């Protein structure tokens, strides 16, 4: 539109008339509202110079000069400049005021969005033949603007009338099919720009925002509409006009609109057919051999397999070497067989009820992952494919794939994501229904979480189990969530294989070009019910009647290629029979197997990590004092260029107090943590700390990133500057998400065992928003998928009068999911502690000293295997004057203490002790203070259980034996139905063989984790202390 205005402004420089114009119709407004017709003189660009200015030149002071010129012209027209000659001629001919002046021809090329009047000549139609120097109809201008608007409306709304549904249900009541429209635009698309039949053969100039012309600059309206219908309304519907980058929009337009862009060679068609045959043949084979088994087959969307292979082919051609995939259960076995090319024998043995050859409880076959390195035959390049194992919780695997991808990119030094990419598959109902999809999208452009573009493929069955889309989403499409990150969305009809391949290639190229997310929505159907033994006719009778009469896409495509002469009927049958034979051979081989191997299905192998290691030998966790001093001093010093780098006065104070601690050989919580990280970095271990506000720390204790007070974005990270050859340190504030970010960090931790990956909750109370990751992956991942992870979860925990949502990390839930047997006391030996760690699913601890925190973090890397570590971390202890440790507890020959026994007067004379209290975490300091106030140090001993799970049976037994005359009690600040009590009670019984009773001291049972009243909190705390210290 702007362009047309510019053209007209150049044609008619009558600025004086514009204010009087009525703006009802653009063309008549700009030309002159009282005349519909106006004379325009057009001039070709000729190359000679003219010095006359083009601005209006008549003013009061020049009247004498004009009169003189006029008299000279009357005497001899050649005696004045040609511009005056033209002006006086027009005036004499009766031109209206302001219309006599005509600008001289210009040497300059037309400006941007301008064109000489001559170039409009062929576009003015038959009526405008004498256009130059004659009359131009305002309808011409209006019609050009309308054509531009039509082109734009196809680009923006063409998807609304494209034929996406292979069943024809989706658009039955919305619009006529493409073939019925015969190139006439649909009112949903063009809205008010309806043009008459008489205009159809008129030629219009094409704007620069379309590529439908190819090399042609102008086309007839009929041809314009036909090409737009072809590009935007056939079997591909694209949503991209919301993207606010002109470059990206034009890139997509070019890929879709260029004439002949969809044409492919016979070779490519045969490849699609072969891949489609394998995908269909695999499902048919499984259906025949195991007709009553659940396998969540791909029937109805078999095109997914060629689609994924097309994405992989194009991506490897563009430099990708490794692809991490996440997907739901539908079609998983087919993807493993035909995309990853996992040996069919391994898949078929999963159907046989065989015993497992290795440890673990396993998982159903359609949840298993895999890892394969193979040659891509199309590009002749090696490719690594990993399918990440996942639970039935749809979309929960998304952030794990992203974390694993990001980690692979990090360790390969692939800062732009050119070598490693992620590919996520989704179901339509889950993609719009599960909030984790939105959380994962919002990590896509964050500096420390981006994977530089993910390709999302939605297998759109147009149904979720038994629920219709109209009941499962409020948005027009299931993919609308992707619009939040400006991802282009390609909807495509699954029954047009060539359209699907075209879209897949565009998606792979988009990701390689712009490194942003992109969505392919394959609109298909589900030939069976939710699984193979489910009856869909109960709830979708009409849809399934239609599905029963719909031929398979393989049959449709084979028929089409036979008609085109690309293949013969014999060739089609031959390809089918060959694959059938491969399946049969593998089936016979699978029947010879006697065991299934879970290790065959590992998605993240750690080559070389376990080899040559003693599985029960732990490396030392103490370090040299020089190392502690060096790290402590670096953490206590301002940046080296402190003169220019202005830090906050409060930070200066914190750094000074740190330096004083280092000089007095003590550490507080923040310094102890920093020394654990720093000493691992010295050993070349990568440390990553992620979560909400972790750079500063929720409680303003950490300060791992110092900010220049006068320069934006200028920061200094002390732990990144400890040693010249240290491991990399990443500390990053996350988005305000627990589910997404904890999943991301878990994926990150699966990639490299020689990295300490920590996620910290803002408060431990918020970890339950990520409960799905904790339950489905962290606690049970190794048992289900033989997959280890050393992830550390830091959960601030402790009842301090801050109310029900800032008190409890729900310690009881982690303990309840611990897999050790409460009735079994393992045989005591040298390796007792490490064997317990080896056998359990995770470690749950609540440390009360910085030194123990230092050791348990370092132990994560010192172990010869990996286990998740769930830590309850302190809040008030971060600054508690007694919660400090000496260097003597951290240097060589020191280690993590599972239990810290009483070291006061009671321990000197154990036989006279009347009560032995066991507790864990912060409550120790409350009990200790109250004991001192009541002068009971000789009567009551307090032991701290630092590692709660696996339970330290041996040390508890030893401690109880030491105080043989004391009554035993477990003290906790949590309510009786929360905290550790229900976990430790039966284990105390086992440790003591039932010989002594252990009583409970603490708050009574409660529905809420804590009171919201400060008064009530103090009252409860005093009651706890009175109860604990009563004799």
Is there a contact between 771 and 817 (Cβ–Cβ < 8 Å)?
A: no
Residue 23 has a pLDDT of: 38
Residue 596 pLDDT grade (very low, low, confident, very high; cuts 50, 70, 90) = confident
| Angle at CA of residue 712, ends 707 and 716, nearest 5° | 30
The neighbour count for residue 809, using CB atoms within 10 Å, is 26
- Count CA atoms within 13 Å of residue 951 on its CB side: 28
The pLDDT score that the predictor gives to residue 138 is: 83
The CA-based diameter of the chain, rounded to the nearest angstrom, is 137
Given a contact cutoff of 8 angstroms between Cβ atoms, the answer to whether 449 and 734 are in contact is: yes
Q: What is the pLDDT of residue 255?
A: 97
Neighbours of 930 (CB within 10 A): 18
Q: How confident is the model at residue 296 (pLDDT cuts 50, 70, 90)?
A: confident
Cα separation, 62 vs 45, whole angstroms: 30
The C-alpha angle with vertex 760 and arms to 900 and 982, in degrees rounded to 5, equals: 50
Task: Report, as an integer, the average pLDDT of 132-149.
Answer: 76
User: E strand or H helix at 166, and its extent?
Assistant: none
- pLDDT of residue 877 exceeding 90, the answer is yes
Looking at 171-175, 243-247, 311-315, 690-694, which range is the least confident one? Answer: 171-175
pLDDT tens, 679-727? 999 999 999 999 999 999 999 999 999 999 999 999 999 999 999 999 9
CA nearest neighbour of 729 among 410, 409, 402, 401: 410
SS3 429: helix
Report residue 254 as tokens.
């070019």
Strand partners, 936: none
CA 859, CA 685: separation in Å to the nearest integer?
13
The CB density around residue 843, as the number of other CB atoms within 10 Å, is 23
Higher pLDDT, 644 or 123: 644
Determine the pLDDT at residue 116: 59
Contact 432, 494 (CB under 8 A): no
pLDDT at residue 121 in the model? 53
Whether residue 988 contacts residue 899, with contact meaning beta carbons closer than 8 Å, is answered with: no
Residue 295 has pLDDT above 50, yes or no: yes
The residues, ordered by sequence, that sit 6+ positions from 663 with a Cβ below 8 Å of its Cβ are: none
- The half-sphere exposure of 697 on its side-chain side, counting CA atoms within 13 A, is 18
Query: What is the distance between the alpha carbons of residues 991 and 958, in angstroms, rounded to a whole number?
Result: 9
**How many percent of the chain have pLDDT more than 70?**
89
For 441, phi then psi, to 5°, come to -55, -35
The β-bridge partners of 355 are 595
Residue pLDDT, tens place only, 465-524: 888 888 889 999 999 999 999 999 999 999 999 999 999 999 999 999 999 999 999 999
Q: Is 975 helix (H, G, I), strand (E, B) or coil?
A: strand
The candidate with the shortest Cα–Cα distance to 738, out of 440, 294, 465, is 440
Give the pLDDT score at 179. Answer: 63
Express the helix, strand and coil content of the chain in percent, nearest 5 each.
45, 15, 45
DSSP assignment of 588-644, as one string? HHHTT--EE-GGGG-SS--TTTSTT--TT-PPP--B-HHHHHHHHHHHTS--TTTTT
> Can you spell out the DSSP letters for 290-321?
STTS-----TT-TTHHHHHHHHHHHHHHTT--
Q: What is the pLDDT of residues 752-800, one digit of tens each?
A: 999 999 999 999 999 999 999 999 999 999 999 889 999 999 999 999 9
For residue 369, the model assigns a pLDDT of 86
Secondary element (H or E) of residue 88: helix 82-92
User: pLDDT (tens digit, 9 = 90+) per residue, 58-95?
Assistant: 555 677 788 888 888 888 888 888 888 888 888 777 77
CA-CA distance, 173 to 189, in Å (whole number)? Answer: 16
Tens of pLDDT, residues 351-371: 887 787 767 777 887 788 899
Per-residue HEC secondary structure of 1001-1031 comes to EEECCCCCCCCCCHHHHHHHHHHHHHHHCCC
Q: By C-alpha distance, which of 285, 320, 170, 274 is closest to 501?
A: 274
Give the integer Cα–Cα distance in Å for 851 and 833: 19
pLDDT score for 140: 82
Q: Which two tokens stand for residue 445?
A: 């452009």
User: Which is nearest to 644 in space by CA: 710, 699, 600, 705?
Assistant: 710
Which residue is it, tokens 């809040």? 875
Per-residue confidence band for 197, with pLDDT thresholds at 50, 70 and 90: confident
Number of Cβ within 10 Å of residue 492's Cβ equals 28
The whole-number average pLDDT for the span 944-960 is: 97
User: What letter would DSSP give residue 388?
Assistant: -
Task: Examine the pLDDT at 40 and tell me if it is beyond 80.
Answer: no
30 in helix, strand or coil? helix
Determine the Cα–Cα distance for residues 908 and 910; give it in Å rounded to an integer.
Answer: 6
Look at residues 912, 922, 904, 907 and name the one whose alpha carbon lies nearest to residue 846: 922
As a dihedral over the C-alpha atoms of residue 1002, residue 1008, residue 1012, residue 1013, rounded to 10 degrees, the angle is: -40
**Please, what's the b/e burial string for 61-84 (b: 16 or more CB within 10 A of its CB; e: otherwise)?**
eeeeeeeebeeebeeeeeebeebb
pLDDT at 344: 93
Distance (Å, whole) CA 672 – CA 861: 16
pLDDT of residue 52: 44
Over residues 833-856, mean pLDDT? 97
Tokens matching residue 479 = 């993919």
More confident residue, 306 or 136: 306
Q: How many residues does the chain have?
A: 1031
Residue (of 181, 133, 119) closest to 154 by Cα position? 181
pLDDT of 793 reads 98
d(CA 530, CA 462): 12
Q: What is the pLDDT of residues 184-194, one digit of tens each?
A: 667 778 776 66
Q: Which residue has the higher pLDDT, 1004 or 361?
A: 1004
pLDDT at 103: 67
Cα 361–chain centre separation: 30
What is the model's pLDDT at position 34?
41
CA 62 – CA 87 distance, rounded (Å): 15
Neighbours of 384 (CB within 10 A): 16
CB 74 within 8 A of CB 67: no
- Looking at residue 608, its pLDDT comes to 86
| Cβ-contact 1001, 1027 below 8 angstroms | yes
Does residue 196 sit in helix, strand or coil? coil
Average pLDDT, the chain: 89
Give the pLDDT confidence score for residue 84 in this predicted structure. Answer: 82
Strand-pair partners of 971: 1001
**What is the per-residue pLDDT for 581?**
96
pLDDT of 453 > 80? The answer is yes
Give me the phi and psi of 687, to 5 degrees please. -115, 130
Strand ranges (DSSP E) for 769-868?
Answer: 792-796, 843-845
Say if residue 552's pLDDT is above 80.
yes
Mean of pLDDT values over 408-437? 96
pLDDT band per the 50, 70, 90 thresholds, residue 868 = very high
DSSP letters spanning 311-355: HHHHHHHTT--EEEEE--STTHHHIIIIIS---HHHHHHTTS--E
Residue 158: predicted pLDDT:
92
In this predicted structure, the answer to whether residue 29 has a pLDDT above a threshold of 50 is no
What are 1006-1030's pLDDT values in tens digits?
999 999 999 999 999 999 999 999 9
More confident residue, 670 or 61: 670
Give CA–CA dist 925/874, Å, rounded: 12
């Amino acid at each position: 539109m702007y362009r047309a205005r510019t053209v007209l402004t150049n044609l008619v420089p009558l600025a004086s008339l514009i204010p009087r114009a009525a703006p009802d119709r653009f063309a008549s407004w700009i030309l002159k509202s009282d005349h519909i017709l106006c004379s325009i003189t057009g001039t070709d660009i000729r190359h000679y110079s003219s010095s006359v200015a083009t601005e209006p030149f008549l003013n009061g002071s020049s009247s004498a000069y004009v009169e003189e010129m006029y008299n000279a012209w009357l005497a001899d027209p050649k005696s004045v400049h040609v511009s005056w000659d033209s002006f006086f001629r027009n005036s004499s001919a009766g031109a209206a005021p302001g219309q006599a002046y005509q600008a001289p021809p210009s040497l300059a090329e037309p400006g941007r969005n301008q064109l000489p009047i001559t170039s409009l000549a062929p576009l003015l139609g038959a009526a405008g033949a004498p256009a130059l120097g004659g009359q131009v109809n305002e309808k011409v201008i209006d019609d050009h603007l309308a054509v531009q608007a039509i082109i734009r409306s196809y680009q923006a709304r063409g998807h609304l009338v494209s034929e996406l549904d292979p069943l024809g249900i989706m658009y039955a009541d919305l619009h006529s099919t493409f073939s019925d429209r015969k190139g006439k635009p649909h009112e949903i698309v063009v809205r008010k720009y309806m043009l008459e039949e008489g205009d159809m053969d008129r030629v219009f100039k094409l704007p620069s925002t379309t590529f439908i012309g190819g090399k042609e600059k102008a086309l007839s309206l009929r041809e314009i509409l036909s090409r737009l219908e072809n590009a935007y309304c056939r079997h591909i519907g694209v949503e991209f006009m919301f993207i606010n980058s002109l470059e990206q929009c034009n890139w997509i337009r070019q890929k879709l609109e260029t004439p002949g862009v969809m044409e492919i060679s016979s070779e490519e068609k045969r490849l699609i057919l072969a891949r489609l045959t394998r995908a269909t043949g695999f499902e048919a084979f499984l259906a025949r051999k195991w007709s009553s088994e659940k396998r969540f087959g791909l029937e109805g969307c078999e095109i997914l397999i060629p689609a994924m292979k097309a994405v992989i082919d194009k991506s490897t051609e563009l430099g990708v070497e490794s692809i991490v995939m996440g997907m739901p259960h539908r079609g998983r076995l087919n993807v493993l067989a035909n995309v990853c090319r996992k040996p069919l024998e391994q898949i078929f043995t999963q159907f046989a009820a065989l015993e497992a050859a290795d440890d673990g409880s396993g998982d159903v076959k359609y949840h298993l992952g895999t890892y394969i390195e193979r040659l891509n035959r199309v590009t002749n390049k090696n490719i690594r494919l990993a399918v990440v194992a996942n639970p039935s919780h749809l979309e929960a695997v998304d952030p794990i794939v992203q974390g694993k991808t990001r980690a692979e990119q990090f360790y390969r030094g692939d800062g732009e994501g050119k070598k490693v990419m992620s590919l996520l598959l989704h179901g339509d109902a889950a993609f719009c229904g599960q909030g984790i999809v939105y959380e994962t999208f919002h990590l896509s452009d964050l500096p420390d979480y981006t994977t530089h573009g993910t390709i999302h493929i939605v297998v759109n069955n147009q149904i979720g189990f038994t629920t219709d889309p109209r009941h499962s989403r409020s948005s027009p499409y299931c993919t609308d969530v992707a619009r939040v990150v400006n991802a282009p969305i390609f909807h495509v009809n699954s029954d047009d294989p060539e359209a699907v391949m075209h879209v897949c290639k565009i998606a792979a190229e988009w990701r390689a070009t712009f490194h942003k997310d992109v969505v392919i929505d394959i609109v298909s159907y589900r030939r069976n019910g939710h699984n193979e033994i489910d009856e869909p006719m109960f709830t979708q009778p009409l849809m399934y009647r239609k599905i029963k009469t719909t031929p398979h896409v393989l049959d449709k495509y084979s028929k089409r290629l036979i008609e085109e002469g690309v293949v013969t009927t014999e060739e089609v049958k031959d390809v089918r029979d060959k694959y059938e034979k491969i399946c049969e051979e593998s089936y016979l081989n699978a029947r010879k197997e006697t065991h299934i191997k879970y290790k065959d299905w590992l998605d993240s192998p750690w080559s070389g990590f376990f080899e040559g290691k003693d599985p029960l030998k732990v490396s030392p966790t103490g370090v040299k004092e020089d190392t502690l001093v060096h790290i402590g001093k670096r953490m206590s010093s301002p940046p080296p260029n402190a003169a220019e780098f202005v830090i906050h006065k409060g930070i200066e104070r914190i750094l000074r107090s740190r330096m004083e601690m280092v000089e007095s050989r003590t550490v507080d919580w923040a310094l102890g943590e920093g020394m654990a990280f720093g000493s691992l970095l010295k050993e070349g271990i990568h440390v990553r700390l992620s979560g909400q506000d972790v750079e500063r720390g929720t409680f303003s204790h950490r300060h791992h990133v110092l900010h220049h007070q006068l320069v934006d974005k200028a920061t200094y990270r002390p732990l990144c500057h400890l040693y010249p050859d240290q491991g990399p340190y990443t500390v990053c504030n996350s988005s305000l998400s627990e589910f997404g970010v904890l999943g991301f960090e878990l994926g990150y931790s699966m990639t490299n065992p020689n990295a300490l990956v920590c996620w910290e909750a803002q408060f431990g109370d918020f970890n339950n928003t990520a409960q799905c990751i904790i339950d489905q992956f962290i606690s049970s991942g190794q048992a289900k998928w033989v997959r280890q992870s050393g992830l550390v979860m830091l959960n601030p925990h402790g009842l301090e009068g801050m109310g029900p949502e800032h008190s409890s990390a729900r310690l009881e839930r982690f303990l309840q999911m611990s897999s050790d047997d409460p009735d079994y006391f393992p045989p005591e030996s040298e390796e007792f502690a490490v064997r317990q760690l080896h056998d359990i699913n995770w470690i749950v601890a609540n440390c009360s000293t910085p030194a123990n925190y230092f050791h348990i973090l370092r132990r994560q890397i010192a172990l010869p295997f990996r286990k998740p570590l769930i830590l309850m971390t302190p809040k008030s202890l971060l600054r508690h004057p007694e919660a400090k440790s000496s260097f003597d507890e951290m240097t060589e020959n020191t280690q993590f203490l599972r239990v810290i026994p009483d070291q006061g007067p009671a321990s000197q004379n154990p036989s006279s002790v009347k009560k032995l209290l066991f507790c864990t975490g912060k409550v120790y300091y409350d009990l200790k203070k109250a004991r001192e106030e009541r002068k009971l140090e000789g009567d009551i001993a307090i032991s701290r259980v630092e590692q709660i799970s696996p339970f330290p049976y041996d040390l508890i037994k030893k401690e109880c034996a030491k105080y043989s005359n004391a009554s035993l009690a477990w003290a906790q600040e949590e309510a009786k139905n929360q905290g550790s009590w229900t976990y430790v009670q039966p284990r105390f019984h086992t440790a003591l063989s039932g010989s002594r009773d252990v009583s409970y001291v603490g708050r009574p049972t409660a529905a809420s984790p804590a009171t919201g009243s400060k008064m009530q909190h103090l009252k409860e705390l005093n009651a706890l202390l009175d109860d604990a210290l009563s004799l």
